[in-house]
Structure 1
Amino acid sequence: MSEAPWWRGAVIYQIYPRSFLDTNGDGVGDLPGIVEKLDYVASLGVDAIWIAPFFRSPMADFGYDIADYRAVDPLFGTLEDFDQLLAKAHALGLKVMIDQVLSHTSDQHAWFKESRASGDNPRSDWYVWADARPDGTPPNNWLSLFGGVAWQWEPRRGQYYLHNFLTSQPDLNFHNAQVQRAVLDNVKFWLDKGVDGLRLDAINFCFHDALLRDNPPKPEEKRVGRGFSPDNPYAFQYHYFNNTQPENIPFLEELRQLLDKYDGAVALGEISSEDSLATTAEYTSGKRLHMGYSFELLTDDFSAAYIRGTVENLEAQMREGWPCWAISNHDVERVLTRWGQGDTTAHMAGMLTAMVCSLRGSVCVYQGEELGLTEAEVPFESLQDPYGITFWPNFKGRDGCRTPLPWNENANAGFTHGKPWLPVPDDHRALAVSRQELDPHSSLHNFRSFMQWRKGQPALRLGDIRFVDVPEPALAFTRTYEGQTVLALFNFSASPITVDLPAFAHARAFNGHGLAEGSLSDGRAELPGHGVLFAQVT
């Protein structure tokens, strides 16, 4: 088999540190907690971990508002703790990817404190500043993803500054070459420490339209947002000018030049644009990002036709790049609630994991997916997410997917000796790691079995993809790599189905993947509810 880069076909386990394991009793997870549970992560059979932000921050957006890119926030530990984490992960054969939030900082960052002080200091042009219109209103009609206008008045300068997210997350001015150099220097700091990759948050938001042109209105029937409240006015515009500008391409190429100086270092970009699939294809072509992912499989849409259409759309545009897929993360409702349609069994959880891990590309798996966790119901008085608080009750924010990982069935699920920053629901304690370890048919054991089996199938990790015409609720495709072709078939319903596959009359079904297995005989497949069939095509 040809030697492939480690990240191609990799399964990347996302750790949300606030909710992983708390070792000091303050109710918030920390880096020593990750170190303590790395053996568990390695036992899952994943290839890498992605750690959400742990940098110094006032935590207005839980670490995505960075005040110091090179410092660990005391809430999470120290730089020495991170060094220990890196060393142990590498000893266990796990690659380590970290979040990098390049497009904006916290308003508590030293750069912004200096920039806001006056219009003539050395960093006065490091953020996006603009004069008011003659009537005192903001310079254009741009909106913040978190609700309301994207401009905040700063009396010290007598100008507005841009914030695509929270008011306390001012956007950097990437049209300033000094900003680009400073940002890349911060990235280099972590590459020098030995991290294996970067997950680049909102990477298409680095540049804005220098002319500050208004975004055009979007017709009501097209106001379908991904990852935000349906009543959020952000959906009322085409966001042609506040992100995804052509100047971003040369910057990504410069970032790639830096990464290429470090053996095996990889960049995964989070992309949310008006046509995220097209932007993903563009950003991963040539010497730009290694991988990109968008929110297309993080929506409520769940059907074989939707998933096939999404993947084929990207495949048609992505001539050179490599995709990365995710069906859950820290920003959206957990997949078993979104797609489970009331069925949250281990079979459903296993089928969804196997499906996304069989698509062409790499995969991000969010902590708790291996346990089959559902979205937690967090009462209003316990909400932490400013997004959810703003849009309650129509949109409950992101706290429901961020509750602590349940390690055991105790009151705080083995997560903390103190009061957890978000409550742990009773139904999550029933799915605790300790309990599932004892059940050979649990989601956890199914996850491990499948990941171990997948490692021995190069076609599933590296091959081309071609969809097979089958009726709903089945999804079928083949993966082909260096002479090996594997047929993958998934039942999206809770009822048994029969699928005729005359072109695969001589295919031989695999077993041993640990999921609800289907059977194949003379080109006819029988699948149990949420069943999975893999077959060797001859």
Structure 2
Amino acid sequence: MTQLDSSAAIAPWWRGAAIYQIYPRSFADSNGDGIGDLPGITARLDHVARLGVDAIWISPFYKSPMADFGYDISDYCAVDPMFGTLEDFDALIARAKGLGLKVIVDQVYAHTSDLHPWFAQSRSSRDNARADWYVWADPRQDGTPPNNWQSIFGGPAWRWDARRGQYYMHNFLVSQPQLNCHHPDVQQALLDVAQFWLDRGVSGFRIDALNHSMHDPLLRDNPPAPDDGAVRTRPYDFQLQVHNQSHPDIVAFIERLQALIASYPDTYSLAEVGGLNSGIEMKAFTQGPARLDSAYGFDFLYAENLTPRRIAAALDFWPDEPGTGWPSWAFENHDAPRALSRWCAPEDIDAFARMKTMLLLSLRGNPILFQGEELGLLQDEIPFEQLRDPEAIANWPLTLSRDGVRTPLPWMAQDEHGGFTSASSGVGPWLPLSAHNLERAVDRQEADPASLLNLTRELLRLRAGSAALRRGSCDVLLADETRLVLRRRLGGAKSSTSLLAVFNMGTNAAAWPGEIPAGGRVLAAVNQAEPGSLPAWGGLWIIEGETA
């Protein structure tokens, strides 16, 4: 074993792991009903394994009325029948294990569905055993909600309930009542849920909207947001969310949760954290070994462009220092538009996609690829009459639909439904597949050695063999208008453990950075880049101290 990969024996598997996100509704449909399911995932897992990722993250598949497509859970420990059964999940775990893949599942601790038995009991009276499991409050003297908090999906964050004669809080949909995670019994119930899935063989959790899990018990009004000239499509955007979320006591719950997760071998915990103070909260949630392993925010998910300085600023926030957590990065996910549709002109899509993939795999942290990102899928335009996303429907036409990134994964270019579901069933996919994404189907890219799919596999393979890329430090040597140079290094010496990642993130050729030697062995290159030459969207990995 060389010095380059000797640290693999002591580093946890997740440190630097590449993760592939699967959105179950849109990955693969095994029974022809037009909706993806767990057996479909199991049948197609070899595709994910061949990519060379370390783990899959599966978005919610739990029992749910699907008002928010699974993020409104009515039974945390049951599989929704549209996705299969617990036995199907066990089969998925077994198949993933056989392919060398870890399985991470979503946990949603901020809210449940209003059809959850916990909420049914809570709303039945003010003195039942679960009366305080959700956030309830009396009206003001004039009958209006107790404060000015607004829902992310539009309108007040309060709903009147005549059974209790009180309002209940909901940060999201009206049908997603807010759990009172300050309550110790609620915390224990959620820990029991986590233990259920750990016992079933999962390797960890991605925790949804974690900073929304606790509110200010004093119910103080949120202050108004300063006028920054931005277009605001929701009442929520007119406030600073300082009291309806992000309570300091979240950290104590995190420590209880992490103690449970870490009691199982080879596990991993990842927090999703959004909002204006997400950076501070991500650091707090991952500080030291008693807290979560990693966190990711929205540095890139809604960014209008990808620039060297944006990358440098994001990396600068996560220095390689004791006590600072380990970052994770995503350019796309089930809530955010496809990056290629945001970040480049149509004529640059193919070249930009190659550069973008190499760049994501160059960052210090865990890269998260959303299904179809390895194919270069584009954002689909869904007409209003076919929208399924409740946020897009409520805020149409000013909010970009999440449906456009959730369209089914195309497996076969010539198939009417892209091989996602059986055409013979007579039922089409739950969302339509576009012609431009069918052209990027898996089977077509499998047959093309120069495809983005095959490049992604090769870059992931090379990254897996480089401890500097997986776990090394990251110094930004240059970040100007179009050029970005990173040095990934494992250990203190600049030797075979040191790698340069050099990029031109512009539409025209760029001068080679004068301070960067043009020597070294090229580990990988995209878009005809080579030492001394940076064409448009060019990128290289260069091992310092080695010659070609």
TM range (shorter): over 0.9
Q: Which residue of 1 aligns with 2:333?
A: 329
Q: Which residue number corresponds to residue 227 of structure 1? A: none
Task: For residue 345 of structure 1, report the CA deviation from its aligned partner.
Answer: 3.1
What amino acid does structure 2 have at the position aligned with 1:396?
Answer: L
The residue identity in structure 1 corresponding to 2:476 is: F
Match status 1:519 vs 2:521: no
Partner Cα separation in structure 2 for residue 201 and residue 452 of structure 1: 29
What is the one-letter code of the residue matched to 1:420?
A: P
Give the secondary structure class of the aligned counterpart of 1:41: helix
2:308–2:479 CA contact under 8 A, matched in 1:
no
Distance in 2 between residues matched to 1:119 and 1:80, nearest whole Å = 38
Task: Give distance in 1, aligned partners of 2:320 and 2:291.
Answer: 19
**In structure 1, how many angstroms separate the alpha carbons of the residues matched to 2:345 and 2:504?**
14
- Distance, in Å, in 2 between the alignment partners of 1:279 and 1:315 is 15
2:520 corresponds to: 508
**Contact 1:337–1:344 (CA<8 Å) still a contact in 2?**
no
Instruction: Please give the secondary structure, in 2, of the residue aligned with 1:124.
Output: coil
Matched, 1:448 2:457: yes
1:121-520 matched pairs, under 5 angstroms? 121-221=128-228, 230-286=232-288, 287-298=290-301, 299-315=303-319, 319-409=323-413, 410-417=415-422, 418-482=427-491, 483=493, 484-502=497-515, 504-505=516-517, 507-511=519-523, 513=524, 515-520=526-531
Gaps of 5+ in 2: 1-5
Instruction: Provide the secondary structure at the position in 2 that maps to 1:534.
Output: strand
For residue 120 of structure 1, report the CA deviation from its aligned partner: 1.1
Which ranges of 4 or more aligned residues in structure 1 deviate by more than 4 Å? 316-319
Question: Distance between the aligned counterparts of 2:319 and 2:335, measured in 1?
Answer: 25
In 1, Cα distance between the equivalents of 2:165 and 2:510?
66
Which residue pairs with 2:3 in the alignment?
Answer: none
Measure how far apart 1:431 and its partner are: 0.6
Deviation at 1:514, TM superposition (A): 6.2
Can you list the C-alpha shifts for 1:279-311, whole angstroms capped at 9, x where unaligned? 111110021110000001112242111221122
Aligned-partner SS, 1:527: coil
Corresponding residue number in structure 2 for 1:10: 17
Deviation at 1:317, TM superposition (A): 8.8
CA distance in 2 between counterparts of 1:197 and 1:222 reads 41
Residue 29, structure 1, aligned to residue 36, structure 2: yes
CA distance in 1, matches of 2:534, 2:83: 46
> 1:453 offset after TM fit, Å?
1.2
Q: CA deviation at 1:32?
A: 0.3
Q: Residue deviations 1:396-419, cap 9 Å, x none?
A: 320000000000121111111221
Opposite residue 529 of structure 2, the aligned amino acid is G
- CA-based RMSD of the aligned residues comes to 1.5
Q: What does the per-residue CA deviation read over 1:264-289, in whole Å, with 9 as the maximum and x for residues that have no partner?
A: 11110000132211111111002111
What TM-score do you get using the length of structure 2 for normalisation? 0.94
Measure the CA separation in 2 of the matches of 1:490 and 1:266: 31
8 Å CA contact 2:332–2:370 kept in 1: the answer is yes
1:350 deviation in Å? 1.8
Q: What's the offset of the Cα at 1:533? A: 1.3
- How far the C-alpha of 1:470 sits from its partner, in A, is 4.7
Q: Contact 1:240/1:274 (CA < 8 Å) preserved in 2?
A: no
User: How far apart, in 1, do the equivalents of 2:36 and 2:472 lie?
Assistant: 38
Q: Report the TM-score, using the length of structure 1 for normalisation.
A: 0.95
SS in 1 for 2:512: strand
Q: Which amino acid aligns with 1:254?
A: R
CA distance in 2, matches of 1:474, 1:94: 35
Q: What count of residue pairs does the alignment treat as equivalent?
A: 527
| Distance in 2 (alpha carbons) for counterparts of 1:241 and 1:222 | 24
Letter in 2 for 1:80: E
